[in-house]
Amino acid sequence: MDEIYNLSTFNLSILSSSFSFGQICGTAFFMLKNISNFTIKNAYTYTSGFLLFGSLLQSLSSYYMIVIGRVLLGIGTGIGFIINGITLTQNTNYQSRPTVFLIPSVMFSLGNLYPNVVLLLTNHYKITEYYLFIVSIPNILVTIYYFISGYKKIDILHEKDDDLRITVCEDINIPKKVYQFTVLLVLLNVSVGVPIIMAYSIEIFKFYGYSTETAICLSFFYPIIQIVFLSFMNIIGKSLTRFTLIFKGFILSFSLLFLITSILFLPPTTGSHTKTHILGTLTILLSMISSIPCSIIHCIYLEIFQSFHEHTKISSIARVYLWVFSFTVTFTFPILFSYFGLFIIFLIHLFITGISLSLLKHKYIAFLEPISNL
């Protein structure tokens, strides 16, 4: 791991964005795959295979192996997110669907929590050279379990889809307004800061003025808050409309982003840690609040359509744009951060979020109204 700590800004950008690049490749692979024996159940096998080999390569802790491993992990994740969304959409009803889509987000937060726990422990016991190996263990174990017996559960769930082939979806027409609405939703997902907080939380907290140890602890703490909040919303969320969960959720996230950006603009006060603590609190709140709309948007564009092939097409479109946007911000963050600091980065995100919310309100808000035929 010592090699990683001494990377140039460019190499750090490559490393941090390699996962998103893999997600782009995985989603494109999923869209273009056209093999007669490639069914929806096969997609879970592809996902598990990429995750397994990506984890094994990443655990070797060499820079190039980590990059290749993260690309493979991204490919598996890119395929997996599409299949997961389609499975949830086709096996849940309209009323419960938004809260059901929070469950993968809880799992994702647990996935973010685990590396932070490992980082704390490896730092404490001075065994950071084993960090990536320990981080990779859950992926390796889960995917091995899938190949031993877990695939049988997928077979049962998708028994009716035995003859459903995944083919190129060029002949499926997605209405222009739905296409634009979908792209706008995933742009909001990225612009409220989700990818950069996930990828660079430690550096962000250090920039606020926290020590390295405290920044690591806060990066450990915020996924726990997310998990608790998402679990709570999973219980009470059924009483809330899609408009409230998504539009008002993004409005609240935008407000928190505005406060963070405004405080970053203020000059630091000598000898006072008030600004540091306020920024840390607001960032944790932002990661917590934004997790709700950013989770539920992925059921909105899917439930506009009825057929599996339409679900595949629109989900592939959404995920490609999401990964491209995520790749862009994670790749450019170290470069912008080293030259301009955090204020400019958050200002750009604030500007994009504000414009996107304005478009959502005035052109696409009808998509967040109840759909009577689902």
CATH assignment of the domain containing 48: 1.20.1250.20
Report yes or no on 209 lying in a domain: yes
Report yes or no on 374 lying in a domain: no
Please state, in angstroms and rounded to a whole number, the distance separating the CA atoms of residues 187 and 195: 11
The pLDDT score that the predictor gives to residue 273 is 84
The total number of structural domains in the chain stands at: 1
Range of the domain at 329: 2-368
The pLDDT score that the predictor gives to residue 32 is 63
The pLDDT score that the predictor gives to residue 371 is 55
In the Cβ-directed half-sphere of 195, how many Cα atoms lie within 13 Å? 26
pLDDT for 59-80, tens place per residue? Answer: 988 889 999 999 999 999 888 8
* Beta carbons within 8 Å of 351's beta carbon, 6+ residues apart: none
Please state, in angstroms and rounded to a whole number, the distance separating the CA atoms of residues 295 and 217: 25
Report yes or no on 240 lying in a domain: yes
> pLDDT confidence of 158, banded at 50, 70, 90?
low
pLDDT for 138-150, tens place per residue? Answer: 999 999 988 887 7
Please state, in angstroms and rounded to a whole number, the distance separating the CA atoms of residues 311 and 88: 11
Please state, in angstroms and rounded to a whole number, the distance separating the CA atoms of residues 268 and 209: 10
Report yes or no on 62 lying in a domain: yes
Comparison of pLDDT for 40 and 191, the residue scoring more: 191
Report yes or no on 373 lying in a domain: no
Report yes or no on 331 lying in a domain: yes
The pLDDT score that the predictor gives to residue 328 is 92
Residue whose token pair is 């996962």: 19
Maximum separation of any 2 CA atoms in the chain, in Å = 68
pLDDT for 300-313, tens place per residue? Answer: 999 888 877 788 88
pLDDT higher than threshold 50 for residue 315: yes
The pLDDT score that the predictor gives to residue 141 is 93
Comparison of pLDDT for 119 and 361, the residue scoring more: 361
Report yes or no on 121 lying in a domain: yes
Report yes or no on 313 lying in a domain: yes
The pLDDT score that the predictor gives to residue 171 is 58
* Beta carbons within 8 Å of 285's beta carbon, 6+ residues apart: 256
The pLDDT score that the predictor gives to residue 174 is 86
Comparison of pLDDT for 37 and 314, the residue scoring more: 314
